[in-house]
């Protein structure tokens, strides 16, 4: 009997609702604060950056949010995505575990990012936004938003971290093919960019700086341009829930239910996308699936950061949120999983982690490349280095199951392919990559540097 490998759904199975996990949180979400006043943000403040519909989704306590028909029409280009059983990987590991993965990399943008890029472009278009601004690191997010903007005939400015801009010209060319304008950040087009360049003309840039630039351009545009973010915020995580909703149905087709669900985390959106619908089943329907977030040990915000209010960006222009953070001035080591090099983490995910509802583990760089290549050689797909963090953890779970002689059903999110990461793979194969120890000293005294430190001492 041959084993079924791919579990495919029909167009009619594309979810009609996004799932907003905050609605099921036992703990109410912390307020989002204005970076200037440090008071809870007003809709006016947010509306300089986001269209009203996304602001409403950001603060919504509704469990389900209806997906507009126009968005579902575009989802049809690549959704539902396949759920795969990794039988060849299982065999290579000699494990009794069953390993499943949800593959988001066959979308036109090559990753899960399109799931939120499409509705963000759609709502902005509907509300009359004239252009969008955003940042991108490795380029997965910028590519997804560029494609979505081309669908809705919406101009897009992308502030791309300079080191990636130079190292990944093909990512830039790809965004330009969809008509996006791409700038190497820090630029001299913004106050934030110029102030960084004044201190360090050779600054390689960072996600934190690029966010500052994109936010500034939108904030100073008199409502003509809005800003679009690819992770961290709650509406972004909500949009990604289509991944987990489909996976629930597909695991049912496979006749199994996962013991553990795994995703990599940078800002948290692909992990939340696959895990939150399973979290709901834990909270509401008595399931006991472990939910495991995997971060690089070079930017271990969940496992090593502090849980407190912090800025989302370097120039302190983005809202202050309560999250596990390494500090908005944290400079991540140059790991090749560029999408995970962020100092903070989605507030909802941090709250669930703080409540003990999800687990986290940090893994070193070399072990993720080893896992990614084993996956490529057995399952065929070369994964993005970000996704290889999830693969590493899935393999470790499968090996543990082997050691224990126990069946374990593992599901992970293969959030993207590695077609634009080949210089990284080449460096790994040439022995040029290293592991990074977490720079302990960088977070010493961090609490005193947090935006609410003074207030906390007063209170």
List residues binding its own copies (CB under 8 A): 2, 4-6, 8, 10-11, 69, 72-74, 76-78, 84, 88, 106-110, 114, 147, 150-151, 169-170, 173-174, 176-179, 373, 376-382, 419-420, 422-423, 425-426, 429
267 vs 418, beta carbon nearer its own copies:
418
182 vs 394, beta carbon nearer its own copies:
182
7 vs 330, beta carbon nearer its own copies:
7
CB of 424 to its own copies, least distance (A): 9
CB of 117 to its own copies, least distance (A): 11
CB of 207 to its own copies, least distance (A): 23
CB of 342 to its own copies, least distance (A): 25
Question: 217, 317 in Cβ contact below 8 A?
Answer: no
7 vs 352, beta carbon nearer its own copies:
7
CB of 425 to its own copies, least distance (A): 5
Question: 312, 112 in Cβ contact below 8 A?
Answer: no
Question: 205, 183 in Cβ contact below 8 A?
Answer: no
The 3 state secondary structure assigned to 291-309 is EEEEEECCCCHHHHCEEEE
CB of 455 to its own copies, least distance (A): 47
158 vs 317, beta carbon nearer its own copies:
158
How buried is residue 374: exposed, middle or buried, by Cβ count under 10 Å (0-12/13-18/19+)?
middle
| Structure token pair of residue 34 | 């204005």
In order of 42, 182, 187, 255, 327, the CA distances from 200 in angstroms are: 35, 21, 12, 57, 20
Q: Phi and psi of 232, rounded to 5°?
A: 65, -55
CB of 242 to its own copies, least distance (A): 15
CA-closest candidate to residue 324, choices 447, 441, 236? 447
Question: 326, 446 in Cβ contact below 8 A?
Answer: yes
CB of 40 to its own copies, least distance (A): 39
In order of 24, 27, 29, 68, 287, the CA distances from 284 in angstroms are: 8, 15, 19, 26, 8
Contacts of 346 (CB under 8 A, 6+ apart): 231, 232, 233, 234, 236, 237, 267, 268, 269, 272, 323
150 vs 442, beta carbon nearer its own copies:
150
15 vs 110, beta carbon nearer its own copies:
110
CB of 436 to its own copies, least distance (A): 22
CB of 171 to its own copies, least distance (A): 8
47 vs 378, beta carbon nearer its own copies:
378
Neighbour tally for 456: CB within 10 Å:
13
Question: 323, 37 in Cβ contact below 8 A?
Answer: no
Three-state DSSP class for residue 30: coil
Q: How far apart, in whole angstroms, are the C-alpha atoms of residue 112 and residue 135?
A: 17
Three-state DSSP class for residue 310: strand
CB of 206 to its own copies, least distance (A): 24
Q: How far apart are the first and last CA of the chain?
A: 67
Which secondary structure element, helix H or strand E, spans residue 19, and what is its range?
strand 17-19
153 vs 403, beta carbon nearer its own copies:
153
CB of 384 to its own copies, least distance (A): 12
78 vs 436, beta carbon nearer its own copies:
78
Question: 261, 282 in Cβ contact below 8 A?
Answer: no
Q: How far apart, in whole angstroms, are the C-alpha atoms of residue 153 and residue 130?
A: 10
- Secondary structure percentages of the chain, helix, strand, coil, to 5: 45, 15, 40
If you compute the radius of gyration of the chain from its CA atoms, what whole number of angstroms results? Answer: 21
Q: How far apart, in whole angstroms, are the C-alpha atoms of residue 137 and residue 214?
A: 13
9 vs 21, beta carbon nearer its own copies:
9
Q: How far apart, in whole angstroms, are the C-alpha atoms of residue 253 and residue 139?
A: 34
Q: Phi and psi of 291, rounded to 5°?
A: -115, 115
147 vs 320, beta carbon nearer its own copies:
147
């Amino acid at each position: 009997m041959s084993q079924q490998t791919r579990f495919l759904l029909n167009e009619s199975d594309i979810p009609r609702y996004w799932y907003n996990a905050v609605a099921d949180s036992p703990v109410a979400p912390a307020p989002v604060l204005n970076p200037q006043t440090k008071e809870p943000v007003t809709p006016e403040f947010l509306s300089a950056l986001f269209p009203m519909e996304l602001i409403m989704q950001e603060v919504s306590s509704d469990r389900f949010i209806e997906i507009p028909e126009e968005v579902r029409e575009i989802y049809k280009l690549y959704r539902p995505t396949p759920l795969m059983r990794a039988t060849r990987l299982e065999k290579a590991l000699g494990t009794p575990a069953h390993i499943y993965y949800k593959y988001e990399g066959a979308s036109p943008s090559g990753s899960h990012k399109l799931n939120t890029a499409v509705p963000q472009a759609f709502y902005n278009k509907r509300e009359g936004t004239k252009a969008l601004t955003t940042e991108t690191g490795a380029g997965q997010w910028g590519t997804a938003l560029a494609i979505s903007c081309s669908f809705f005939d919406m101009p897009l400015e992308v502030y791309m971290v300079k080191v990636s801009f130079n190292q990944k010209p093909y990512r830039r060319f790809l965004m330009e093919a969809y008509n996006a304008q791409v700038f190497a950040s820090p630029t001299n087009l913004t106050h934030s960019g110029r102030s960084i360049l004044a201190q360090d003309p050779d600054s390689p840039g960072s996600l934190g700086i690029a966010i500052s630039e994109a936010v500034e351009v939108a904030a100073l545009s008199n409502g003509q341009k809005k800003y679009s973010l690819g992770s961290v915020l709650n509406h972004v995580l909500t949009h990604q829930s289509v991944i987990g909703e489909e996976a629930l149905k597909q695991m049912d087709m496979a006749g199994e239910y996962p013991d553990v669900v795994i995703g990599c985390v940078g800002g948290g959106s692909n992990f939340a996308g696959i895990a939150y619908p399973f979290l709901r089943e834990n909270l509401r329907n008595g399931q006991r699936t472990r939910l495991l977030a995997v971060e690089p040990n070079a930017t271990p915000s969940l496992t090593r950061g502090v849980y407190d209010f912090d800025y989302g960006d370097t120039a302190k222009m983005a809202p202050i949120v309560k999250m596990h953070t390494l500090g908005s001035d944290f400079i991540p080591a140059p790991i090749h999983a560029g999408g995970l090099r962020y100092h903070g983490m989605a507030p909802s995910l941090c709250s669930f982690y703080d409540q003990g509802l999800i687990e986290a583990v940090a893994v070193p760089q070399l072990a993720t490349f080893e896992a990614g290549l084993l996956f490529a050689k057995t399952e065929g797909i070369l994964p993005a280095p970000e996704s290889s963090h999830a693969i590493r953890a899935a393999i470790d779970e499968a090996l543990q199951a082997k050691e224990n002689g126990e069946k374990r059903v593992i599901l992970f999110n293969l959030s993207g392919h590695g077609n634009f990461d080949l210089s990284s793979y080449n460096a790994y194969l040439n022995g040029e990559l290293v592991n990074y120890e977490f720079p302990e000293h960088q977070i010493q005294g961090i609490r005193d540097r947090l935006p609410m430190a003074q207030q906390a001492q007063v209170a």
